[in-house]
Structure 1
Amino acid sequence: MPQLTFALNHMTAPSLPLDAFFALAADLGIKAVEIRNDLPGNAILDGTTPADVKAAAQRHGLTIISINALQRFNAWSAEREAKARALIDYAEACAARALVLVPKNDGTGRADGERQTNLMAALTALKPLLDKAGIIGLVEPLGFEICSLRSKREAAEAIRSVGGEGTFRLVHDTFHHHLAGEPELFADLTGLIHISGVEDSGIAIGDLRDSHRVLVGPGDTLGNVEQIKALIAAGYAGPLSFEPFASVVHDLPDPKTAIAGSIAFLRETV
């Protein structure tokens, strides 16, 4: 049985202030966290300095494995570059190890040829910025049909084409992997696994949304256990990071007990 390690994405408990979120992770025995730049009224959007974030993580004995995320990274422009530089600087200053890169997800940029060209341009521009700061770029294909980067194969090919194997890694998101229907895993390029489950079996795959994503348990329909087993068998040795988006999780009065239950389930079944 593999020795699983876990991480906690702030989306698991987005209403918690950063210090309370860090305390939750530490209380669960989790040593790695992902912070976000899309939580209104919370760090990073509330103006919390990277020095304060770094100090809080150190106080709780945590490693910040990523900032999540540079959105629309493959729609490269002067504005996107400025946003990337700001997030990379923040990541470096707070001692985050990586920056998650999320593609545009609005139905545009999906044409064959166009999407590959846009992806290559973004990776080429991001590589020197990330390398200078010593930050990994975590490319996260999304399984939604409207997304401009659904395929991990396309992402992997682009990473290799720009000589970016030392700069970029893939995020294997169990939800998006299920939606994309792409069987290949690319464990050798995987830098992080995001885990969440779906328990409503009556929803068609094409109709699944972030709001359906709960903690992983016995009722999961996404095949989390099978996906994780396969990735570990193929050589993945990093953390499994909880990233549920459903309000039923966000509104839990006792998230610690629920997350601990999911950890126990995965340790028993993977």
Structure 2
Amino acid sequence: METDVVVALNHMVAPALDVPRFFDLAVGLGCRGVEIRNDLGDGAVAGGLAPEEVARLAAGRGLTILSINALQRFNDWSEARAEEAQALADYAGRCGAGALVLVPVNDAGWQPPLEERRAGLRRALSGLAPILAEAGILGLVEPLGFEICSLRSKREAVAAIDDLGLGDRFRLVHDTFHHHLAGEGDLFPERTGLVHISGVEDRAVPLADLRDAHRVLIGPADLIGNAAQIRALHAGGYRGPVSFEPFAASVHADPDIAGALRASIHHLAAALAWMAAE
């Protein structure tokens, strides 16, 4: 792109593809970064491939594995969660992934008092830090904008990280969809390690009712200001990748996902170039 934005793909763009074909999709679109997941199919990381095989497949195509997405409910820390984090971090280190995405509890039935929730976040970060350090990877904290989410604010995440002195181990995920839902003004580009992008085009759905199923590829009808958010992050010094992460079934069923992604990439490039010229 004219704005030096680096485009990457999250496996959620085409969850029916196996890892080799997903990697081929990325290469065919000129992407050099990919994110693998542990919530597709049977829930195994990268479809159950050994981490060394994933590393080999990526290296052979000149791809960088940006992250494993994700450790869910990370801020509800427990012995079981620590074991899950250890397994994912070990896999990440062995496959060459640079980070593990950390997703907070998003459950209406899990609503501890404010101070308990904040203490739990700090306990989780403290427990994760040595696990991540041993694997040689970063933790990418991804606040979610849903009203029921236990961690909606990037500012709250940064405050906890800084209170613990763990800024060298944790970064933020700026998700354009969740940033829009949360209504948080601050961007924290200097603390951001990865950007997730997707569009919303359905004008009939109220903001509070938007869900992952409404997340499509970015096009001219986008309602959540992806280009503006990326431009602001770039202006603030962010130079990392922006990773396509649409969840809509219509995207996943597209028989020409490569063509759809190519059109979305071109649209976004044109929008960013137009904003840069203003």
TM-score by structure 1 length? Answer: 0.98
Q: Which runs of 5+ in 1 are unaligned?
A: none
* In 1, Cα distance between equivalents of 2:112 and 2:146: 12
* In 1, Cα distance between equivalents of 2:80 and 2:224: 36
* 1:69-148 equivalences in 2 (<5 Å): 69-107=70-108, 108-148=110-150
* In 1, Cα distance between equivalents of 2:128 and 2:182: 25
Contact 2:18 2:47 (C-alpha < 8 Å) held by counterparts = no
* In 2, Cα distance between equivalents of 1:246 and 1:185: 25
SS at match of 1:64: strand
Counterpart position of 2:190: 188
* In 2, Cα distance between equivalents of 1:114 and 1:42: 30
Deviation at 1:76, TM superposition (A): 0.4
Deviation at 1:109, TM superposition (A): 3.5
1:180-235 Cα distance to aligned partner (Å, 9 max, x none): 01110011100000000000111111000000000011100011111111110011
SS at match of 2:254: coil
Deviation at 1:42, TM superposition (A): 7.4
Gap change, CA 1:250 and 1:124, over 3 Å in 2: same
* In 1, Cα distance between equivalents of 2:93 and 2:151: 26
Gap change, CA 1:128 and 1:14, over 3 Å in 2: same
Deviation at 1:137, TM superposition (A): 0.1
RMSD over aligned Cα atoms: 1.1
> What amino acid does structure 2 have at the position aligned with 1:189?
R
> What amino acid does structure 1 have at the position aligned with 2:253?
D
Counterpart position of 2:276: none
1:48-87 Cα distance to aligned partner (Å, 9 max, x none): 1101111111121100000000000000000000000000
Gap change, CA 1:190 and 1:110, over 3 Å in 2: farther
> What amino acid does structure 2 have at the position aligned with 1:204?
P
Contact 2:7 2:31 (C-alpha < 8 Å) held by counterparts = yes
1:168 correspondence with 2:174:
no
Structure 1: 4+ residue segments shifted above 2 A: none
> What amino acid does structure 2 have at the position aligned with 1:238?
G
Counterpart position of 1:44: 45
> What amino acid does structure 2 have at the position aligned with 1:266?
L
Counterpart position of 2:227: 225
1:16-35 Cα distance to aligned partner (Å, 9 max, x none): 01100000000001000000
SS at match of 1:113: helix
* In 1, Cα distance between equivalents of 2:43 and 2:73: 21
1:145-201 Cα distance to aligned partner (Å, 9 max, x none): 110000110001011111111100000000000000111001110000000000011
* In 2, Cα distance between equivalents of 1:70 and 1:41: 16
* In 1, Cα distance between equivalents of 2:233 and 2:15: 28
* In 2, Cα distance between equivalents of 1:173 and 1:193: 6
Counterpart position of 2:271: 269
Contact 2:218 2:264 (C-alpha < 8 Å) held by counterparts = yes
Name whichever of 42-51 and 243-252 sits farther off: 42-51
1:90-137 Cα distance to aligned partner (Å, 9 max, x none): 000000000000001112135321221110000011111111211000
* In 2, Cα distance between equivalents of 1:163 and 1:196: 32
Deviation at 1:47, TM superposition (A): 2.5
Give the number of aligned pairs.
270
- Identity over the aligned pairs, expressed in percent? 57
* In 1, Cα distance between equivalents of 2:113 and 2:3: 41
Structure 2 residue aligned with 1:199, among 198, 201, 215?
201
* 1:144-163 equivalences in 2 (<5 Å): 144-163=146-165
